[in-house]
Amino acid sequence: MRFRPFPKLGEHPPAHAPGGTYRALEKIHGAQLVLGLPAGGDRRGGLRVGKRKAWLGDDEPFFGWQLLRVELAEAAHEMRRQVGPESLGGRDLVAYCELFGGGYPHPDVPARRVHAPVQTGVWYSPGAHVAAFAILLAEPGAADGELLAPSETAGIAARSGLLSPPVVGTGTRAAMSALPVRRPTAVPAALGLPPVEGNIAEGHVLWPDRRSTLSSLAASKYKIPEMAESRFDESAPHDPGRVMAAPGLLGLVPSLVNPARIASAASKTGRHDRAALLEEVVLDVLADLESALPATIKALRPEELDALIRRIDAQALTVDQG
């Protein structure tokens, strides 16, 4: 079954963002988990489980996902049943989810030692949970397909035994874009847990509540500053067409490679392979720099690009060890 990665979301709605109703969904601070059922797979098997960029092997370590294998298979098959054969139409089903939890520092909530925390910084539950945030229906072998509307995804997830991200608000794009980013996470309450003081959500994602495709998705993320992966010097005016000198570009690296960036990379690769984690950090930072400073990156000589990569790698190693 072809792996179809979920696109990296920008921090503002793209220019092609449609009108209509939008839903703001809490951004859960976890690790992306992808569930895939190939067209024609039977009830007994066929489930593929992946991380952000690739399918996982059956015994490949990734936050102990194998402990949830049975529940994930049941949920995926039920999602396919909920979509129905007429709507599915012989297509693959892919559910993009967030794996989260594993720690909850509250005196009235017993700890569980089965799962280590998937992420820290926002606390959700002592146990591990999975929330589906998008469902894709795609022709076998095709790179893209039809993404269901967020409201459809939430309904299918609930009827299939999975959570979905809490709804922060529903309305026009302008109204939802103006929502405050800082608020307590609503996930623990949805799980029936008492609140933890100062347990602030990572942010939220703004979705048009309509069907789309991976390539045309007009969703965008809004994150609290301490969870932001890209933190440029706010005192410097931003001009994407300006070519920054190589030393100035190297000077940006410490602000871009921070604990939030390391956590984001770990959510894609796991922590069992440090080389893969550091490579993901480098690729992620380069992608952000290319988006924010395209002229600068394009103008780099090969030796300057090599120096930038070495600087990112060294900073990532320092932050991860700290």
pLDDT at 260 (0 to 100): 76
pLDDT at 258 (0 to 100): 83
C-alpha closest to that of 38 among 55, 61, 53, 26: 55
pLDDT at 200 (0 to 100): 97
User: pTM here?
Assistant: 0.76
Contact between 103 and 136 under an 8 Å Cβ cutoff? The reply is no
Give the containing element (helix H, strand E) for 173. helix 173-177
CATH number for the segment(s) 22-225: 3.30.470.30
pLDDT at 229 (0 to 100): 65
CB neighbours of residue 143 within 10 Å: 12
In degrees, to the nearest 5, what angle opens at C-alpha 52 toward C-alphas 186 and 273? 110
pLDDT at 239 (0 to 100): 57
Tens place of pLDDT per residue across the chain (322 aa)? 999 999 999 887 777 788 899 999 999 999 999 999 999 765 556 899 999 999 999 888 888 888 788 889 999 999 999 999 999 999 999 999 999 998 899 999 988 755 678 888 899 999 899 999 999 999 999 999 999 999 999 999 999 999 999 999 999 999 999 999 999 999 999 999 999 999 999 999 999 999 999 999 999 999 998 877 655 544 444 456 778 888 888 988 888 888 878 888 888 888 888 899 999 999 988 987 887 788 889 999 999 999 999 999 999 999 988 6
C-alpha closest to that of 152 among 199, 242, 84: 84
What is the location of CATH 3.30.470.30 in the chain? Answer: 22-225
pLDDT at 115 (0 to 100): 62
